[in-house]
Chains A and B, each alone.
Chain A
Amino acid sequence: MKQVYALVDCNNFYASCEKLFRPDLRETPVVVLSNNDGCVVARSKEAKALGIKMGVPVHHITTEIHQYGIEVFSSNYTLYGDMSRRVMVTLESLAPRVDIYSIDEAFLDLTGIDRVVAFEDFGRQIKDIVYQNVGLPVCVGIAPTRTLAKLANYAAKKYRATGGVVDLTDAARQRRLLARVPVEEVWGVGRKLSAKLQALGIVTALQLADTDLATLRKRFSVVLERTARELNGVPCLPWDDAPPPKKQIMCSRSFGQPLQALSDLEEAVSHFANRATGKLRGGRQYAGELMVFVRTNPFRADVPQYSKSASVRLVSATQDSRVIVQQALTQLRSMYRAGYDYAKAGIMLSELVDETGLQRDMFDLSSANDGKGERSARLMAVMDEINRKSRATICMAREAGPAAYVMRREHLSPAYTTNWSQLPEVR
């Protein structure tokens, strides 16, 4: 039977979550800010209509905020996570198979459903049921491949006459839409790639679909060739039964106040390194490489700028906080320059392997011979256990207390759905 996918994507997800509990904001433009109240990461349709751009730093739009009465929210991930879970549970009750793709979108397997109900009608049912049961608006794109389902969803969002549902199972309809869509809107074609494609005269999605496959493979990659096949209705991206293990673990944060002293940065980087290593152990993985970066605020043209990263390959892959914190601090000290206002720092662990992929270093006798490896594992397990029971009780001595790096969240809404003391109030 021919495979059919639906992509269900929440409209302006974060902004919609905020609005659900604030009927007074029904017609009000709403924006949600990134961690630390930095940039706009979500906009309600009213905010989009005002021309507020995605990713703009909030201090660039202070005039608009006052002029139009835009309501500003800090990211409330507790709320968004809970609402996302509700959407996904609802979708799972509607389709035999659901692949959660991100916090606000999921692929559904609709194969064979048209024997019972037309695809478009089923799409409308999905949309209506999610709104009725959870209170969030979604759009639905239906197509024989996931790449086309993404495009169908794009069309459902962009063209109001679709009513938020587009059935793109018909080949002629696929080509009509592809001709109208710029190539950079195709799933997996970023801005860089679309610039290269445009230089070759490939401007629309249809032109990409009609490009010779061997040429795409030779000049670009097998990935883009697959994308072109998918645009032609040939499924090349199978359901992933299990998500692939994490390739990197990142832990970084903008500072509420810029830092100047090396000792302050050391505290911050130790904290991030320890957090990242905790996540590493949570996924039963070992890191073979670590990267540390620091930078000043690029939006402040009036202060001297500095941005630097340094990475190091670890002699043997580890999940020991002590090793990673020590290595991270060595990197930090080597690239630290005095006289700058540091606005952000972070650490990335990569070359991750699980226990089966672990190779002991033949020259690192200590770990093999005196049982240090096992002792390290035991110490870390005890540390994780204590920290699980009461958060951040034990940390590396270089770390500041956990309070020093809490996010700035001045516009945080209540945890309406997850905290008894913050429930919505009714009169």
Chain B
Amino acid sequence: MPCILLGDYASFSRLNIPLFLERVSAGFPSPAEDYVEKTLDLNELCIQHPASTFFVRVQGESMVEAGILPEDVLVVDRSLRAKHGDIIIASLESEMTVKQLHLTPPPVRLLPRNPAYQPMIIDADMVLEVFGVVTNVVRSLKRGVSS
């Protein structure tokens, strides 16, 4: 699998931008100085709307084929309007569930991404509320486990 190096990581939760207020007046300026842009922050990658972003934890295997495994943390953005094909968190009558939203052709369906699970068809009399759109998956890999 090809990988692309994005840059140096920053182990800070805040955005850290080096700020140079004055030039150093003695000695040689570092030749790298002009190339410092900023450090990278994972929040930048995962979170567009902090006030609307919630995290949820996955239980169960209904979305394994979408790359969502048990114990994963999902990043959920409430401010996005759910579209056909989005992976969403739905507030159903009894619980919150993660599924893929299918709007066309009607009726509205919530599709699992695991053949062992049944699609959910949303009837006119059912209450379906979209809690938010899943934008990212956060998973800690277990070390030293061979499968």
Residues of A at the B interface (CB closer than 8 Å) are 21, 23-24, 26, 85-86, 89-90, 93, 132-135, 416-417, 420, 423-427
Contact = CB atoms under 8 A, between A and B. Distances in A.
B87 to A, nearest CB: 11
Nearest to B77: A133
Interface string B35-67: 000000000000001111011111110100000
Nearest to B58: A426
Contact of B98 (A86, A93, A426): A426
A162 to B, nearest CB: 23
Interface stretch (B4-12, B14-22, B88-96): B88-96
A135 B51 contact: no
A427 B95 contact: yes
B103 interface: no
Contact of B57 (A21, A132, A425): A425
Contacts, number: 71
B129 A23 contact: yes
Interface residues of B, number: 29
Contact of B51 (A26, A89, A425): A89
B101 interface: no
Given A23-B95, A24-B94, A426 B55 contact: no
A23 B96 contact: yes
Nearest to A416: B54
B60 A427 contact: yes
A135 B78 contact: yes
Given A23-B93, A26-B127, A134 B56 contact: no
Contact of A134 (B59, B74, B78, B89): B78
Contacts of A85: 51
Contact of A90 (B52, B55, B73): B52
The 9 residue pairs across chains A and B that have the minimum distance between CB atoms: A23-B91, A89-B51, A133-B52, A423-B57, A133-B79, A86-B51, A426-B98, A427-B60, A426-B96
5 contacts: A24-B93, A89-B50, A133-B79, A425-B59, A426-B74
Contacts of B131: 135
A93 B50 CA distance: 12
Most buried by A among B50, B60, B96, B129: B96
Contacts of B135: none
A425 B62 contact: no
Nearest to A85: B51
Given A26-B127, A89-B50, A133-B49, A424 B96 contact: yes
A24 B129 CA distance: 12
B136 interface: no
Contacts of A417: 54-55
A423 B55 contact: yes
Contacts of B79: 132-133
Contact of B73 (A24, A89, A423): A423
A93 B48 CA distance: 14
A425 B52 CA distance: 18
A426 B78 contact: no
Given A135-B78, A135-B131, A427 B52 contact: no
Nearest to B98: A426
Given A135-B78, A424-B57, A23 B51 contact: no
Contacts of A133: 49, 51-52, 78-79
Contacts of A427: 58-60, 62, 95-98
B52 A86 contact: yes
Contacts of A26: 91, 93, 127
Most buried by B among A416, A420, A426: A426
A420 B56 CA distance: 9
Nearest to A427: B60
A134 B50 CA distance: 10
Contacts of B94: 23-24
B101 to A, nearest CB: 14
Contacts of B98: 426-427
A255 B42 CA distance: 45
A247 to B, nearest CB: 31
A426 B93 contact: no
Contacts of A426: 56-59, 74, 89, 95-98
B56 A424 contact: yes
Nearest to A421: B57
Nearest to B92: A23
A207 B49 CA distance: 47
Nearest to A425: B59
A423 B78 CA distance: 16
A23 B89 CA distance: 12
A363 B22 CA distance: 53
